Structure 1
Amino acid sequence: MEEFTLDKQWFDAMEARIPRGEVRTRFAPSPTGYMHVGNLRTALYTWLIARHGGGKFILRIEDTDQERLVEGATEVIYATLRKCGLNWDEGPDLGGPVGPYIQTQRRDLYAKYAQLLLDTGHAYRCFCTKERLDALHNENGLGGYDGHCRTLSQKEIGEKLSAGVPYVIRQKIPREGHTTFHDVVFGDITVENATLDDQVLIKSDGLPTYNFANVVDDHLMGITHVVRGSEYLSSAPKYNLLYEAFGWEVPTYIHCSPVMRDAHNKMSKRHGDPSYEDLLSMGFLSEAVVNYVTLLGWSPRGENVEREFFTLDELSEIFDIEGISKSPAIFDLEKLKYFNAKYLRAMDPERFYAVAEPYLKKAVQNPAIDLKLIAPLVQPRCDTFADIAPQVDFFDALPDYSTELYVHKKMKTTEENSLEALGETIPVLESLESWTYEAIHDALIGLAEKLALKNGRIMWPVRTALSGKAVTPGGAVELCQILGRAETLRRLKIGMDKLSR
Structure 2
Amino acid sequence: MKKIRTRYAPSPTGFMHIGNLRSAIFEYLIAKHDDGDFILRIEDTDQTRKVDGAVEFIYKTCELCGLKFDEGPNNPGLYGPYTQSERLDIYSKYAHELVEKGKAYYCFCSEERLQDLRHQAELEKRAFLYDGYCKNLTKEEIANKIKNGEKYVIRQKMPKEGISSYEDVVFGNISVENKILEDQILLKSDGFPTYNFANVVDDHLMAITHVARGNEYLMSTPKYNLLYDAFGWERPVYIHLPMVLGEDGQKLSKRNGDASFMDLYNDGYLPEGIVNYLALLGWSSSDNVEIFTLEELAKIFDPKRISKSPAIYDVKKLNWVNAHYIKKLPIEKLCEITIPHLKDAYNIEDKSTEWLNHLVKLYQKHISYGKEIVSLVSLFFNDDIVIEGEAKEFMESDASIETVLKVFEEEIKNIDNWNLDNITLAINNTKDKANVKGKLLYMPIRIKVSGQMHGPELPDTIYLLGKDVVLNRLQK
Aligned residue for 2:26, secondary structure, equals: helix
Matched ranges for 1:179-198 at <5 A: 179-198=164-183
* Corresponding residue for residue 98 of structure 1: 79
Question: Over residues 293-332 of structure 1, what are the superposed CA-to-partner deviations in whole Å (9 max), with x where a residue is unaligned?
Answer: 112212222xxx2211111100100111211122222222
Q: Which amino acid aligns with 1:323?
A: R
Aligned partner of 1:178 in structure 2 is 163
Comparing 128-137 with 277-286, greater Cα deviation is found at 277-286
Describe how 1:322-401 pairs up with structure 2 within 5 A.
Answer: 322-366=304-348, 367-369=350-352, 370-401=355-386
Runs (5+) with no aligned partner, structure 2: none
Matches within 5 A, 1:136-285: 136-137=117-118, 138-139=121-122, 142-262=127-247, 264-285=249-270
2:419 maps to 1:436: yes
Distance between the aligned counterparts of 1:38 and 1:181, measured in 2?
25
Q: CA deviation at 1:349?
A: 4.3
Query: How far apart in 2 are the matches of 1:231 and 1:240?
Result: 16
Is the deviation greater in 283-292 or in 116-125? Answer: 283-292
Distance (Å, rounded) in 1 between the aligned partners of 2:238 and 2:392: 65
- CA contact 1:127–1:168 (8 Å) conserved in 2: yes
TM-score of the two chains, using structure 1 as the length reference: 0.86
Q: Which moved more, 1:353-362 or 1:311-320?
A: 353-362
Q: Kindly provide the CA deviation profile for residues 159-201 of structure 1, in whole angstroms up to 9, marking residues without a partner as x.
A: 1111101111111112333322221112222323222111001
SS in 1 for 2:239: strand
How big is the shift at 1:127?
Answer: 0.5
The more displaced of 71-80 and 451-460 is: 451-460
Give the Å deviation of 1:228: 0.8
Q: Deviations over 1:213-246 (max 9, x none)?
A: 1001001100000001111122211111111111
Q: Deviations over 1:99-150 (max 9, x none)?
A: 1111001111111111111111111111111111111113379411000100
- Asked if 2 retains the 8 angstrom alpha-carbon contact of 1:406 and 1:461, the reply is no
Q: How far apart are 1:358 and its partner, in Å?
A: 2.8
- Tell me, what secondary structure is at the counterpart of 1:169? strand
What letter is aligned with 2:22? R
Q: Specify whether residues 489 and 465 from structure 1 end up closer, same or farther in structure 2 by C-alpha distance, changes over 3 A only.
A: farther
SS in 1 for 2:461: helix
1:75 corresponding residue in structure 2: 56
Contact 2:170 2:307 in 1 (8 A): yes
Separation in 2, partners of 1:427, 1:86: 56
Unmatched tracts of structure 1, length 5 or more: 1-19
- C-alpha separation between the residues in 1 aligned to 2:421 and 2:408? 20
The one-letter code of the counterpart of 2:418 is W
Tell me if structure 2 keeps the 8 A contact 1:440–1:481: yes
Counterpart-to-counterpart distance in 2, 1:44 and 1:78: 13
* Cα distance per residue 1:459-482 (max 9 Å; x no partner): 55554454344444331x213322
- In 1, are the aligned partners of 2:462 and 2:470 still within 8 Å (CA)? no
Deviation for aligned residue 1:285: 2.6
What is the DSSP-based 3-state SS (H/G/I as helix, E as strand, rest coil) of the residue aligned with 1:297? coil
Q: Which residue of the other structure, out of 293, 296, 303, is the alignment partner of 1:311? A: 293
- The answer as to 2:66 corresponding to 1:85 is yes
CA positional deviation for 1:272: 2.9
User: Deviation at 1:94?
Assistant: 0.6
Computed over aligned residues only, the root mean square deviation of the Cα atoms, in angstroms, reads 2.7
